[in-house]
Structure 1
Amino acid sequence: MNITSNINPLTRMDYPDPDVIRVGDTYYMVSTTMYFFPGCEILRSYDLMHWEHAAFVYDRLDSTEGQRLMGKENVYGKGMWAASIRYHQGRFYVIFVANDTNKTYLYTSEEITGPWKKSEIQGFYHDNSLLFDDDGRVYIVYGNREIFLVELDENLTGPKEGGLNRVIVKDRDDCFLGYEGSHFYKINGKYYLFFINIPRDTGRRTESCFVADSLDGEFVGKAVFDDDNGFVNSGIAQGGIVDTPSGKWYSILFQDSGAVGRIPHLIPVEFKDGFPVFGCNSTKKDTTSTLGAYLPAQFEIEDLRPGYEYAPLYGSDDFKDAAAGPSFGFKSFWQFNHEPDLELIEHNTTEGFFKIKTGKLATNLVQAQNTLTQRTLTPRSAAEVTLDVSGLNDGDYAGLCVLQSSYGFVGVTQKEGKRFLVMCTREIRVPGIWGERKDDQAPQELECIPLEEVTGDTKLIRLRAGVSFNHMKDYASFSYASVSSEDFTTIGEPKKLRFRLDHFTGARFGLFAYSTKEIGGSARFTDFKYVD
């Protein structure tokens, strides 16, 4: 054990809806990846504090038109949500729903790295959690506001005929968000259910726990954690609990953290009189907790592999390395916005470039196929890349973006045979947090410069996007430089970033190309640098 400070936030990146298990000396955490492919990412840790990529569960899901961004179809705000991960009798189980197909998927594997076998469970189990009971029976808990407990058949294909099927918890009607995000455990003979909800009296995400002595008995519960850790009344809730080999308990819950996304936090947990106690008893005058407990700035963790060096969850890339597994040949910190069309991309590891060829007409960035993305990092981070525009056609756009529904980008477009350096944005006019999933609006051009004024005769340009996240005051800025210069020049104006539910994910850096007039144009990217 060692006392550690500056633990939270854990990843400083968008890893929402965490579920966590331990197998031997290894912790695994699964997170929602929605419409990014490959999907259903699993992270690995030996101390619950530092995390690295372990696996993607799938490269493609159902390859629907929406998942492939065909025409104007998309699955923004949908796709893979809130997985449950379990390990039972030598096999890993991952269950999740996809909100575009309205299906429940089960993936199983003997190794965390796969291969993963795909099947479906009859029914739609929102924010589910799986439990293998001691008697060999299997249950799934799910729902929103009303929480259901359903016994599954022995093959996990659907509800067991004549099996247990009941509502076990109901939330009150006067809450902003009813109980959901179920996490279900059996510990020392008792059954524990953890939920997130938002009571009206605080307006903040809160973690609750219900306990029962049997599956047909009454579940009795209460709120167990209500603290925003000093972050604009944004509570920390929804996630799993896990024990260490020495018997210590911890929880990993996420916090809505503005445009960067939803970030996991690690919280110590103790069991007293059969009930979990999160965090520490509060003597701080500035705590916002209504429960007398708060997230401590430092606490003990157990490092199960001292000296282990973790691979970063983000990084630079010269595109000269090929990755195995379901990563489409790219390093694990890359994901495509929607399922890629591999016939339209080239990853040349000999010369070191990533190339996109356009295969459909698109009105704007969010319709562009094959956008290659990485998560942004709080409190600030930046990305740089060299763009070769020699393959552009009239009406094409290519460049470096900060991807969200209200996006911004710096890039190059071609008009009547001439190329221009542009900074563009999209502003959502719909009030509130919902935005618009069906987006057919062309971006607004804030600045346009003839490319030859910057590059001369060369078709290469260096692009940069930077982000800054500060208590919901989140911005992106864009700049450019010639390939012979290290001095970047700002273009356009700062772009305000905002987390919205139409995309439901944190802002990402992205390499993109799309055509508005004719297909077949291309853009080539080299020397990507991630600056933290």
Structure 2
Amino acid sequence: MALKDRGIAQGSIIDTPEGDWYAYLFRDYGSLGRIPYLVPMVWEDGWPVLGVDGKVPDHLDLPANKRDWSGIVTSDEFKRKKGDHALPLAWQWNHNPDDRFWSLNQRKGYLRLTTGRVDTDVLQSRNMLTQRTMGPTSSATTKMDVSQMKDGDYAGFIALQKKYGYVGVKMENGQKTIVMVSAESDEPVVLAELPLTKKKVYFKIDGDFKERTDKAYFFYSLNGQEWTRLGEPLQMAYTLPHFMGYRYGLFNYATESTGGFVDFDYFRISPEIEEVP
């Protein structure tokens, strides 16, 4: 056995132009999913020897990345200059995207998501743009312009897995409502709702993954400064049907008719969360 430490396993070995060797492995870690590890490696008598004294160090002294690449997670103001990548590699679509219905240039400095089909559930939302969560804690925020939603539309910010939770806006009979929805019990349940009269609203999700606490907390704000908890914490759980750790996702889907759109001003992620009980 090349390595036996905390279940860190399975991957590949790589070398650098300087001649250093590493193993690129992963570790299952609750609702975070599989987290990557870069493990120092040397060759002894033709065999790979991984780790430091058989253990994987939690920190490595590596030079800073000077290339124009994002990290595993990254904040995004959705401002693009000529020659910029449309979306950094930290972003992934939850389904194969329909490029007719998302844009970074229809409104400069915003991600626009337009409904292109009718769905029955947020998990079917095709152009949902996601990033992985980050531990041991992480907080992600977004600002939305919801003035062009149509009746039957749902848009917002999700902690995505089979047992998902989200905070967002629904449009019904010409009225907008802020909602917090939880699928912790495998079926989506509205745990909180309140009327929304403004065109813009802010949402935040805090994830606490310390020692596999695996709790997500949901917030809204009308000014981006004062945050109010909404609904109940989500007990996150890794499930095989989705076979991934939780992800933060921006979504907009229609249940009645297509053509409504929302504009996301930014996505910002930080390792700091509010103190929560």
Please classify the TM superposition score into its range, dividing by the shorter chain length. 0.7 to 0.9
Partner amino acid, structure 1, of 2:5: D
Equivalent-residue separation in structure 2 for 1:380 and 1:492 (angstroms): 20
CA RMSD after TM alignment: 2.4
Change (3 A) 1:477 1:323: farther
Residue pair 2:148, 2:260 contacting (<8 A) in 1 also: yes
Matches within 5 A, 1:180-195: none
Task: Tell me the residue number matched to 2:56.
Answer: 295
What SS class does the counterpart of residue 504 from structure 1 fall into? Answer: coil
2:193 aligned to 411, 426, 448, which one?
448
| Percent of pairs with identical residues | 38
Partner amino acid, structure 1, of 2:227: F
Deviation of the 1:445 alpha carbon: 0.4
Matches within 5 A, 1:321-400: 321=80, 329-348=86-105, 351-400=108-157
| 2:229 equivalent to 1:472 | no
Partner amino acid, structure 2, of 1:316: S
Matches within 5 A, 1:167-178: none
Alignment gaps of 5+ in structure 2: 272-277
Change (3 A) 1:451 1:251: same
Change (3 A) 1:495 1:417: same
Residue pair 1:319, 1:349 contacting (<8 A) in 2 also: no
Task: Tell me the residue number matched to 1:411.
Answer: 168
Change (3 A) 1:254 1:354: same
Residue by residue over 1:304-358, the C-alpha shift from the partner in whole angstroms, topping out at 9 and shown as x without a partner, is: xx56536542322222215759x6x223332211111111123227631111121
Residue by residue over 1:73-101, the C-alpha shift from the partner in whole angstroms, topping out at 9 and shown as x without a partner, is: xxxxxxxxxxxxxxxxxxxxxxxxxxxxx
Equivalent-residue separation in structure 2 for 1:416 and 1:246 (angstroms): 64
| 2:240 equivalent to 1:509 | no
Residue pair 1:321, 1:331 contacting (<8 A) in 2 also: no
Residue by residue over 1:90-131, the C-alpha shift from the partner in whole angstroms, topping out at 9 and shown as x without a partner, is: xxxxxxxxxxxxxxxxxxxxxxxxxxxxxxxxxxxxxxxxxx
Task: Tell me the residue number matched to 1:254.
Answer: 26
Residue by residue over 1:449-490, the C-alpha shift from the partner in whole angstroms, topping out at 9 and shown as x without a partner, is: 1113xxxxx31111111111123221111111113x511101
Partner amino acid, structure 2, of 1:273: D
Equivalent-residue separation in structure 1 for 2:59 and 2:207 (angstroms): 28
Equivalent-residue separation in structure 2 for 1:478 and 1:406 (angstroms): 15
Residue by residue over 1:482-524, the C-alpha shift from the partner in whole angstroms, topping out at 9 and shown as x without a partner, is: 13x5111010011111222211122111110111222222222
Equivalent-residue separation in structure 2 for 1:373 and 1:323 (angstroms): 24
Greater Cα offset, 259-268 or 343-352: 343-352
Equivalent-residue separation in structure 2 for 1:489 and 1:448 (angstroms): 13
Alignment gaps of 5+ in structure 1: 1-222, 229-234, 282-292, 430-440, 453-457
Equivalent-residue separation in structure 2 for 1:307 and 1:469 (angstroms): 26
1:463 aligned to 186, 192, 203, which one?
203
Partner amino acid, structure 2, of 1:463: F
Equivalent-residue separation in structure 2 for 1:527 and 1:260 (angstroms): 23
Structure ID, larger Rg: 1
Task: Tell me the residue number matched to 1:225.
Answer: 3
Equivalent-residue separation in structure 1 for 2:236 and 2:104 (angstroms): 30
Q: TM-score, normalised by structure 2?
A: 0.87
Change (3 A) 1:324 1:495: farther
Change (3 A) 1:446 1:297: closer
Greater Cα offset, 412-421 or 271-280: 271-280
2:181 aligned to 424, 433, 453, which one?
424
2:233 aligned to 470, 478, 494, which one?
494
Task: Tell me the residue number matched to 1:17.
Answer: none
What SS class does the counterpart of residue 331 from structure 1 fall into? Answer: coil
Q: TM-score, normalised by structure 1?
A: 0.47
Deviation of the 1:411 alpha carbon: 0.4
Task: Tell me the residue number matched to 2:274.
Answer: none
Residue pair 1:387, 1:526 contacting (<8 A) in 2 also: yes
Partner amino acid, structure 2, of 1:276: P
What SS class does the counterpart of residue 210 from structure 2 fall into? Answer: coil
Change (3 A) 1:274 1:531: closer
Equivalent-residue separation in structure 2 for 1:415 and 1:307 (angstroms): 49
Equivalent-residue separation in structure 2 for 1:511 and 1:350 (angstroms): 17
Equivalent-residue separation in structure 2 for 1:362 and 1:307 (angstroms): 44
Deviation of the 1:247 alpha carbon: 4.8
What SS class does the counterpart of residue 31 from structure 2 fall into? Answer: helix
Change (3 A) 1:373 1:346: same
Residue pair 2:218, 2:233 contacting (<8 A) in 1 also: yes
Equivalent-residue separation in structure 2 for 1:366 and 1:428 (angstroms): 15
Equivalent-residue separation in structure 2 for 1:393 and 1:270 (angstroms): 59
What SS class does the counterpart of residue 499 from structure 1 fall into? Answer: coil
Equivalent-residue separation in structure 2 for 1:496 and 1:521 (angstroms): 32
Equivalent-residue separation in structure 2 for 1:460 and 1:499 (angstroms): 33
Residue pair 2:138, 2:208 contacting (<8 A) in 1 also: yes
Matches within 5 A, 1:107-256: 223-228=1-6, 235-244=7-16, 247-256=19-28
Change (3 A) 1:388 1:496: same
Deviation of the 1:248 alpha carbon: 4.5
Task: Tell me the residue number matched to 2:221.
Answer: 481
Q: Report the number of matched residues.
A: 269
